[in-house]
Amino acid sequence: MKQKKEKEQKERDFEKLVQEHRQTIYSVCYLFANDRQEADDLAQEVLIHLWQGFENFEGRSSSKTWVYRVALNTCVTLDKRQRRRPDCMPLEVDIDLFADEDACPAANRLHNRIAKLHPFDRALILLWLEDLPYDEIAAILGISVNNVSVRLVRIREKLKSFTD
């Protein structure tokens, strides 16, 4: 009986975590995806990894930092695998994260330019676009605050140089 209650409590806590950080998860997945199906696939993988690591989350960092780190690591890893094996079939899901792509051409150009960056740089620019402080970005990515600053300058210059 005690184990059942503990399991139910764990599930409620996990649901709460996912609800609190749903936007973060989808933002990361959107940035690493080329279309709606891929974003949905990535989100599913992130949820799986969050669930698998949930019991081991010790709270040494904020839950937001932990969710970002898991989401980014999952997306970067899957992005690398996808580049090695580009013939994978996407899964169908009814949520359209890419609806109205023509509604904001500037946002679409930015998304396309960011997609040309290396995965680590995409992760860094996403966190910056989310308006996180440099120290939190550094904690999530495991780099120094100074490195965050230097890399952001270089990434912004690279984004300006891209042509559509």
pLDDT per residue over 38-97, tens digit each? 888 899 999 999 999 998 888 888 899 999 999 999 988 887 776 655 454 544 444 444
Domains 1-99 and 102-164 share a fold: no
The CATH T-level fold of domain 102-164 is: Arc Repressor Mutant, subunit A (1.10.10)
Yes or no: domain 1-99 corresponds to CATH 1.10.1740.10: yes
pLDDT single digits (tens) 131-158: 899 999 999 899 999 999 999 999 989 9
For 155, the token pair is: 């990434």
Is the whole-model pTM more than 0.75?
no
**Residue whose C-alpha is closest to residue 139's, from 37, 53, 69:** 69
Residue 96, CB-side half-sphere exposure with 13 Å CA sphere: 4
